[in-house]
């Protein structure tokens, strides 16, 4: 990884050994004045933003990515594009062509939907690309490298939700108000499992002083991730306290409120 401007929030390039692809992270504010030749190549790109308070991404492909990014800026100014993206991450490759980037865009579109970490703003992709078997294998490797570099750039849009392993220690959170939640510590924080029940309601102090955690519970209910008092899918929180606060409907110390079946607190594990 190379910080072109000496700042991680600015232009960043990322490469892998023995791979002819390249990632370029560029803020929206730098696109219009950008004159880099590498970003004018054939490739796929991700536009990251927030939509209705939720992380969102648009996936696209272009034979000249920089020209296409400027097209997005013009479309927004003209009212043809409703979402406001803040950062673009571009992946270009020396051997890419129109057929290959159409394949990449469609596969990435599928993976984003499967992972479910962000709202997918791309409505349609070209699904009828015909490639040789060797080309498919090459593009699947390209996608593997995209996953690595996106994670290194702190975008987890192509990272599957955490899965429990044979040695996973499950933790539980209960309350007299109906909370009956189950989860485990995961790489990104704490994952609450599908079927976990949240409290019947929230306490007044949580509404007044719960801040981001109260807003998060409300958003999860609005999005249907929590419906009829129950998690409808696995969900990874950034921290154990975020998970327990949402489940209990009050402020919480996750290190204390998450316990094993035997009653051992998370902090004592």
Summarised one tens digit per residue, pLDDT across range 227-239 is 999 999 899 998 9
Q: Does pLDDT of 53 surpass 80? A: no
The angle, 0 to 180 degrees and rounded to 10, between the axes of the packed helices 211-222 and 240-248 is: 70
Q: Does pLDDT of 242 surpass 80? A: yes
Q: Is 95 exposed, middle or buried (0-12, 13-18, 19+ CB in 10 A)?
A: exposed
Determine what percent of the chain is predicted with pLDDT higher than 70: 99
Q: Does pLDDT of 250 surpass 90? A: yes
Residues 51, 216 contacting (CB under 8 angstroms): no
The structure's pTM equals 0.78
Which two three-digit tokens encode residue 98? 């129109």
Question: What is the average pLDDT across 168-187?
Answer: 95
Can you give the pLDDT at residue 153? 93
- Residue 157's pLDDT band (cuts 50, 70, 90): very high
State how far Cα 149 lies from the chain centre: 13
What is the C-alpha to C-alpha distance for residues 161 and 182, in angstroms, rounded to an integer? 16
């Amino acid at each position: 990884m190379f910080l072109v401007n000496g700042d991680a929030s600015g232009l960043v390039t990322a490469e892998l050994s023995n791979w002819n692809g390249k990632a370029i992270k560029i803020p929206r504010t730098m696109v219009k004045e950008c004159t880099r030749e590498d970003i004018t190549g054939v490739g796929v790109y991700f536009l990251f933003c927030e939509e209705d308070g939720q992380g969102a991404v648009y996936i696209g492909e272009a034979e000249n990515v920089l020209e296409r990014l400027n097209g997005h800026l013009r479309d927004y100014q003209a009212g043809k594009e409703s979402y406001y993206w803040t950062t673009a991450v571009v992946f270009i490759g020396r051997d890419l062509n129109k057929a290959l980037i159409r394949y990449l865009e469609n596969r990435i579109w599928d993976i984003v939907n499967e992972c479910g970490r962000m709202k997918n703003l791309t409505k349609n992709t070209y699904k009828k690309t015909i490639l040789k078997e060797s080309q498919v294998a090459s593009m699947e490797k390209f996608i593997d490298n995209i996953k690595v570099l996106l994670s290194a750039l702190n975008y987890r849009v192509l990272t599957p939700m955490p899965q429990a392993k044979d040695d996973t220690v499950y933790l539980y959170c209960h309350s007299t108000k109906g909370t009956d939640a189950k989860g485990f510590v995961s790489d990104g924080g704490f994952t609450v499992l599908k079927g976990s029940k949240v409290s019947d309601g929230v306490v007044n102090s949580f509404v007044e002083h719960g801040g981001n955690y109260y807003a998060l519970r409300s958003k999860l209910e609005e999005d249907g991730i929590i419906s009829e008092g129950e998690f409808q899918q696995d969900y990874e929180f950034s921290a154990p306290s975020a998970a327990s606060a949402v489940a209990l409907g009050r402020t919480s110390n996750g290190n204390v409120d998450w316990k094993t079946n035997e009653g051992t607190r998370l902090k004592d594990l």
